[in-house]
């Protein structure tokens, strides 16, 4: 049975749609873009934030501006001597924040990487209450312009898809930004399933659904179907590591398989048993990412 909130929202959208499907589609997109509360929802999340404090305290805070807003980035210097440092752009998923990536930040910096961790709009230390894929791509562009590019980009969930969309130049007025290596963790491979699922959940009429999806064109200059991250990877000539768990209940493992089928440049690593969230803090996953990041340098030094 649907919750009271969902039932009320369905009724509201139905009433608006009776007068204007276009208005109902715009309202649906607004609801779709609202970000979750930043407050930890349980004791486990509070403990994770507390344990992250010593790591996050080492960061230099950087404000990054883009058209329509700004985001907060945390800049961490590498803590090991492995020759020239790799600069890594690290981005979290929907409803998360960079603090929850503290174990990965620690692991990457201990292995010599310089890490820039973004908080998306409406998340963590960044302002706002909404987030869209075009805004995420603009935030990536702001980081690229400020730091002068990245050797590696690492993204979890929505963050991984955003990095792929940025690499493909899918927002028309933002240049393509692709790192020399990319890591996508538990990331969706295309956006259509999210929009269709949202429309089905709230029982949008066909005309309202079309207006809902049409907002993507208005904001990015491209149709929803073009936001296909797996298709982007098929066209980028850089090594990509895809890390996913077959028991991921939020982003189906089929998305990882779509990525793997994109081309020989994509290496799929199964991290089964870690689900969607624990995967970003698991030691073996961090070790695998470090090995991928430094593979060429350490091969040359051997």
Q: Give tens-digit pLDDT for 77-107.
A: 987 665 568 999 999 999 999 999 999 999 9
What are residue 119's DSSP bridge partners? 72
Count CB atoms within 10 A of the CB of residue 81: 7
Q: How far apart are CA 280 and CA 235, in angstroms?
A: 26
CATH topology (fold) of 60-191+228-302: Rossmann fold (3.40.50)
- Between 82 and 181, residue with greater pLDDT: 181
Q: Per-residue pLDDT averaged across 238-244, rounded? A: 97
Count CB atoms within 10 A of the CB of residue 186: 28
Query: Which strands, in side-by-side order, build the sheet including 60-66?
Result: 60-66, 69-76, 114-119, 87-91, 152-156, 181-185, 240-244, 266-270
Q: Confidence class of residue 297 from pLDDT cuts 50, 70 and 90?
A: confident
Question: Across the chain, what does the average pLDDT equal?
Answer: 94
pLDDT higher than 70, residue 2: no
Q: Per-residue pLDDT averaged across 19-42, rounded? A: 95
pLDDT higher than 60, residue 218: yes
Which residues, including other chains, have CB under 8 Å from residue 191's CB and lie 6 or more apart? 133, 161, 216, 224, 227, 228
pLDDT of residue 4: 87
pLDDT of residue 3: 85
Helix or strand (DSSP H, E) at 258:
helix 253-260
Cβ–Cβ < 8 Å for 242, 232: no
Q: Which two tokens stand for residue 297?
A: 């340098």
pLDDT of residue 302: 57
Reference 46, options 98, 99, 91; nearest CA is 99
| b/e per residue 44-61 (b: at least 16 CB within 10 A) | eeeebeeebeebbeebee
pLDDT of residue 6: 92
Please report, for residues 31, 81, 135, 219, 259, the alpha-carbon distance to residue 26 in angstroms, rounded to integers and kept in the order given: 9, 52, 17, 12, 31
Count CB atoms within 10 A of the CB of residue 140: 29
Which residues, including other chains, have CB under 8 Å from residue 193's CB and lie 6 or more apart? none
> Helices 21-33 and 206-220, interaxial angle, to 10°?
60
Q: How far apart are CA 222 and CA 266, in angstroms?
A: 25
Q: Per-residue pLDDT averaged across 7-34, rounded? A: 96
Q: What percent of the chain clears pLDDT 90, i.e. is strictly above it?
A: 90
pLDDT higher than 90, residue 276: yes
Q: Map out the domains of the chain as residue ranges.
A: 1-34+192-226, 60-191+228-302
Q: Are strands 60-66 and 69-76 parallel, antiparallel or unpaired?
A: antiparallel
Residue 20, SS3 per DSSP? coil
Q: Per-residue pLDDT averaged across 175-202, rounded? A: 96
pLDDT higher than 80, residue 299: no
Which of 68-82, 101-115, 145-159, 218-232 shows the lowest mean pLDDT across its residues? 68-82
Which of 2-6, 277-281, 297-301 shows the lowest mean pLDDT across its residues? 297-301
pLDDT digit string, tens, across residues 30-41: 999 999 999 988
Which of 180-194, 246-260, 283-297 shows the lowest mean pLDDT across its residues? 283-297
142: left (phi over 0), alpha (psi -120 to 50) or beta: alpha
Which residues, including other chains, have CB under 8 Å from residue 203's CB and lie 6 or more apart? 10, 13, 14
pLDDT higher than 60, residue 238: yes
DSSP secondary structure string, 158-180?
HHHHHHHHHHTT-STTS-----S
pLDDT of residue 219: 94
pLDDT of residue 56: 97
- The separation between the first and the last C-alpha atoms of the chain, rounded to the nearest angstrom, is 60
pLDDT of residue 277: 95
């Amino acid at each position: 049975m649907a919750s009271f909130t969902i039932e009320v929202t369905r009724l509201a959208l139905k009433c608006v749609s009776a007068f204007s499907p276009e208005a109902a589609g715009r309202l649906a997109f607004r609801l779709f873009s609202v970000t979750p509360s930043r407050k930890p929802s349980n004791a486990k999340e509070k403990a994770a934030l507390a344990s992250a404090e010593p790591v996050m305290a080492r960061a230099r805070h950087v404000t990054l501006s883009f058209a329509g807003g700004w985001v907060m980035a945390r800049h961490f210097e590498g803590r090991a001597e492995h020759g020239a440092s790799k600069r890594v752009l690290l981005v979290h998923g929907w409803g998360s924040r960079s603090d929850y990536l503290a174990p990965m930040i620690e692991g990457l910096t201990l292995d010599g990487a310089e890490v820039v961790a973004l908080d998306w709009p409406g998340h963590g230390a960044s302002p706002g209450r909404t987030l869209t894929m075009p805004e995420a791509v603009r935030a990536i562009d702001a980081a690229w312009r400020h730091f002068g590019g990245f050797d590696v980009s690492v993204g979890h969930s929505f963050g991984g898809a955003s990095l792929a969309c940025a690499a493909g130049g899918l927002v028309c007025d933002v240049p393509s930004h692709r790192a020399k290596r990319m890591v996508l963790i538990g990331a969706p491979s295309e956006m259509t399933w999210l929009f269709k699922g949202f429309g089905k959940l709230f029982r949008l009429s066909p005309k309202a659904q079309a207006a809902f999806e049409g907002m993507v064109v208005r904001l990015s200059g491209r149709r929803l179907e073009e936001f296909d991250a797996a298709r982007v990877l098929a066209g980028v000539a850089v090594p990509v590591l895809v890390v996913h768990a077959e028991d991921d209940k939020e982003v189906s493992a089929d998305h990882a398989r779509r990525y793997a089928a994109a081309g020989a440049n994509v290496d799929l690593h199964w991290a089964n048993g870690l689900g969607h969230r624990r995967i970003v803090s698991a030691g073996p996953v961090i070790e695998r990412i470090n090995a991928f990041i430094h593979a060429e340098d350490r091969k040359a030094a051997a």
